[in-house]
Amino acid sequence: MLLIRLVASPTLPPAASDALRRRLADGELLACVNDPEVNATFVSVKTGDDVLKTTVAIMAETIGSTHAVGRAFRFELQHPDAKKISDDVLRSVAVELQGSFRASVYIARRAVSAGRWTTMRPMLWAADGLALGDSSPALPFGGSESSGVAIEVGTPTVIAKARLVGGLTQSQMRSIAAATGGPESGLTEVGAYPITVARDEAAIFVLELSDIKRAPLHRALTLLDIEARRFGAHLGLGSLLSNAPLELFLDVLAMHMGLDVARRQVIETHLQAGAASP
C-alpha cells in the first residue's frame, strides 16, 4: 500500500482544498486537514504503486502554479517497503512537480527514526510552518515564487498536533521538544517540533511517529506533558493531522482505560469497502 501525504504551508485556500477532495474522490482520500495554528494543509491519499506519478500529477495540477506562490510543499511518499519506490520513478515525480509548481525540488530518502530525521530532513517545521533546511535542490528552478517542493520517501508515519497550556517561552519549547522527540530523546521514534505560541498563549507542537508500536502516541503525549510540567505548563487538547492506523486507538484504550479491545469489535471493520449510507 502506497500513501501520499501532501503538506502545504501556508494553508491552502478553501477552494483549493475542496477541489482536491473532488479530484481525489476516485482514489482513497484518508485525510484532508487545514490547521491554522500549524499554518499548513495536510492531505493523505492511499493509492496503487503503479499510479504514483498520476496521483501526484492530479494533486499538483489541482493546486496549480498560482497557489504555489509564497508556499512550501512537502510530498511524503510512504510505503512499508520504501525501496519499491525506485529512483527513476522518484525523478519522474520530481520533474512533474518542478513543472507544475515552477519551483526548486528537494529529494530525500528517510532511513532513520523520526527523532533523528528532525535535523536531517530538507524541509523542516518552523514558527510559520514549513521552512527549508540546509539541503541543496536536486532540481533547481531560478526565479521561483514558491518556497520550494520537498519529496521525502520512507515508511509510513503518523502526524499529530499537541497544545501545551500554561505559558512557555520559545527556549522552553525547544527544551521540551528535544527531550520528547529528537536525536537524543528518550523516544527516538518520535520527532517533536516546537511551532509557535497561539493567541491563547498555548504552545503548539507537531509530533511525528515513525513506529507506533515502539513509541505509541499516548506515550509521546505523556512524555510531552511530563516535560511541560517542569516549566509549569501541562498538556491540553490536540488533534490528528494525518491518517492513523486503527491500532493506534486500540492501544490507547488498552493502556488508559484497561479495555481489551480487538479490531473485530470495531463496527467499521465489518463494513464493505466503498459502502456508503443512503
pLDDT of the chain, 278 residues: tens digit per residue: 799 999 999 999 999 999 999 988 766 899 999 999 999 999 999 998 889 999 999 999 999 999 999 999 999 999 999 999 999 999 999 999 999 999 999 999 999 999 999 999 999 999 889 999 999 999 999 989 999 999 999 999 999 999 999 989 999 999 999 999 988 888 899 999 999 999 999 999 999 999 988 898 989 999 999 999 999 999 998 999 998 877 777 776 666 556 666 666 666 565 565 544 44
Whole-number pLDDT of residue 185:
87
Q: In what order do the strands lie in the sheet with 203-209?
A: 190-197, 203-209, 158-165, 234-240
CA distances from residue 71 to 35, 39, 104, 192 in whole angstroms, order as listed: 15, 11, 12, 22
Whole-number pLDDT of residue 270:
58
Domain covering 158-244 assigned CATH 1.10.3720.10 in the classification: no
Whole-number pLDDT of residue 244:
82
> Bridge-partner residues for 76, per DSSP?
5, 152
Distance CA 214, CA 20 (A): 34
Whole-number pLDDT of residue 63:
95
CB 158 within 8 A of CB 151: no
- Domains 2-154 and 158-244 in one fold: yes
CB 24 within 8 A of CB 4: no
pLDDT digits (tens, 9 = 90+) for 42-97: 999 999 888 999 999 999 999 999 999 999 999 999 999 999 999 999 999 999 99
The residue extents of the domains of the chain are 2-154, 158-244
We find that the CATH architecture of domain 2-154 is: 2-Layer Sandwich (3.30)
Cα atoms in the Cβ-side hemisphere of radius 13 Å centred on 255: 14
CB 38 within 8 A of CB 127: no
CA 233 to chain centre: 25
Task: Compute the radius of gyration of the chain from its Cα atoms.
Answer: 19
Distance CA 98, CA 103 (A): 5
90 C-beta neighbours (distance < 10 Å), count: 18
